[in-house]
Amino acid sequence: MSLAVAEMRAAFPAFAEAGGAGLHYLDNAAMTQMAAAAMAAVEHHSRSARANVRRGLYALAERADAAYDAARARVAAFLGAADPAEVVFTANATAALNLAAQALGAELGPGDEVVVSRLEHHSNLLPWLLLGRTRGVTVRTLPLTPEGGIDTGALAATIGPRCRVIALSHASNVTGAVLDPAPVVAAARRVGARVVLDGAQAAAHLPLDVRGLGVDFYAFSGHKVFGPTGIGVLWGRQSVLAGLPPPWAGGGMVEEVAGESLVFAPPPQRFEAGTPPVEQAVGLAAALDWLTAQDRLALTAHQRRLTAQLLDGLAARPGVRLVGPPTAAGRVPVVSFGLDGLHPHDVCQVLAECGVAVRGGSHCAQPLLAALELDGVVRASFAPYNDEDDVAALLDGLDAARRLLG
């Protein structure tokens, strides 16, 4: 299956702007470019339905309500959710994971345990560590495999009878390794623990069926799936959401307040206090509609070819240390590596001067980098609008960095 990259790029206005034609954008793990369909949806909503949602009785507000409800339903369909009410809109994946941690943490205390892994992004690590400080929860850590994945073989030794939550990345933002949630879910069910998956790096690349995954919560961000910034999603199993208290309060999340008593609204409203990100939700839904309409198998095959091309190019160069699986299989199209004797930031600066946009550093995964005994890595990440020229430009830029920096 081939992919018409020129047609794909035409769906993203960034590549038509001044300088866009010469841009080798390989920082998609941090933020994808925004699809024209998402931009158009945000603009149309802002022009024709800009009003606050919930309880407005005039036509503009009714259009806003309809657009917001439709966006939730479309996100639910993308995830394979049983009910749109299982979709909670947040500011981003970080906010979604914090919401899950605080809501679940309200029921936890000293002696309870949360299991994470060594490769978690800080967004799926720090909220649980904070529970250790505020609630006395013990945080246990799963080790890594030599290929940079989560060692699910250590589940039995790590998960004890007091485990209440297992919070892991569906795909690593550094190694790219993809987690098979099945053994995690099985281990969690044996002790009655909840499973939270950070899908920030997976949502754009893997087919999702949250019911089939068997997890209790799934989080991702709009800006990593070709949508706007300022919007994220926490999917939660309805039976679980209904029993959790909201971690913050405000307008729109209660059914009744009388004196000091209050009755929370049902999910998802109880978790969306205040004015929600309506325009962003509309844009996210349009971005997911665009993604769903593509040939996902062709997208995956295309990005896997680019990943393999880059891995081969890195392997042919001396002094390159690859982080993560050695092949394109078993990973999302994220490739991180170090160059012996060169600081990642210096390499990224040279690449930027060559028109190649990548990211260098710890990538908000300091425990992982410490385990790998690295100060930082260069990370390249692909999207459907990338092609072989982008890979060649990156490899040429690395050669230039070696010549210039020694």
**C-beta of residue 191 within 8 angstroms of C-beta of residue 159:** yes
Q: Please list, in sequence order, all residues whose beta carbon lies within 8 angstroms of the beta carbon of residue 146, skipping any fewer than 6 positions away.
A: none
Distance CA(103)–CA(99), nearest Å, equals 6
Q: Check 163, 348, 354, 364 and give the catalytic one.
A: 364
SS3 252: coil
Average pLDDT of every residue of the chain: 96
Distance CA(131)–CA(110), nearest Å, equals 10
Distance CA(57)–CA(376), nearest Å, equals 54
Structure tokens at 143: 């080790």
Partnered with residue 360 across adjacent β-strands are 378
Mean pLDDT of 369-395: 97
Reported pTM: 0.97
Partnered with residue 140 across adjacent β-strands are 115
* pLDDT tens-digit series, residues 230-277: 999 999 999 999 999 999 999 999 999 988 899 999 999 999 999 999
Mean pLDDT of 212-237: 98
Q: What is the CATH number of domain 5-27+295-405?
A: 3.90.1150.10
pLDDT tier, 102 (very low <50, low <70, confident <90, very high otherwise) = very high
Mean pLDDT of 114-129: 98
DSSP per position, 142-200: E-B-TTSSB-GGGHHHH--TTEEEEEEESB-TTT-BBP-HHHHHHHHHHHT-EEEEE-T
* pLDDT tens-digit series, residues 18-77: 556 689 999 999 999 999 999 999 999 999 999 999 989 999 999 999 999 999 999 999
Domain ranges of the chain: 5-27+295-405, 49-292
pLDDT tier, 3 (very low <50, low <70, confident <90, very high otherwise) = confident
Q: What is the DSSP letter of 27?
A: B
pLDDT at 260: 86
Chain length of the chain: 406
Q: Please list, in sequence order, all residues whose beta carbon lies within 8 angstroms of the beta carbon of residue 260, skipping any fewer than 6 positions away.
A: none
pLDDT at 55: 84
Indicate if the pLDDT at residue 388 is higher than 90: yes
Distance CA(173)–CA(70), nearest Å, equals 30
**C-beta of residue 178 within 8 angstroms of C-beta of residue 331:** yes
Name the residue type at position 73: A
pLDDT at 162: 97
Distance CA(181)–CA(37), nearest Å, equals 32
Indicate if the pLDDT at residue 283 is higher than 90: yes
Distance CA(169)–CA(197), nearest Å, equals 6
Q: What is the CATH number of domain 49-292?
A: 3.40.640.10
Distance CA(338)–CA(379), nearest Å, equals 9
pLDDT at 17: 77
Structure tokens at 156: 């039995």
| Cis-peptide, bond into residue 268, ω within 30° of zero | yes
Q: What is the DSSP letter of 225?
A: T
Distance CA(322)–CA(324), nearest Å, equals 6
pLDDT at 118: 96
**C-beta of residue 211 within 8 angstroms of C-beta of residue 81:** yes
Specify whether 364 is catalytic: yes
Phi, psi of 119 (to 5 degrees): -105, 10
pLDDT at 1: 37
pLDDT at 16: 86
Distance CA(311)–CA(41), nearest Å, equals 37
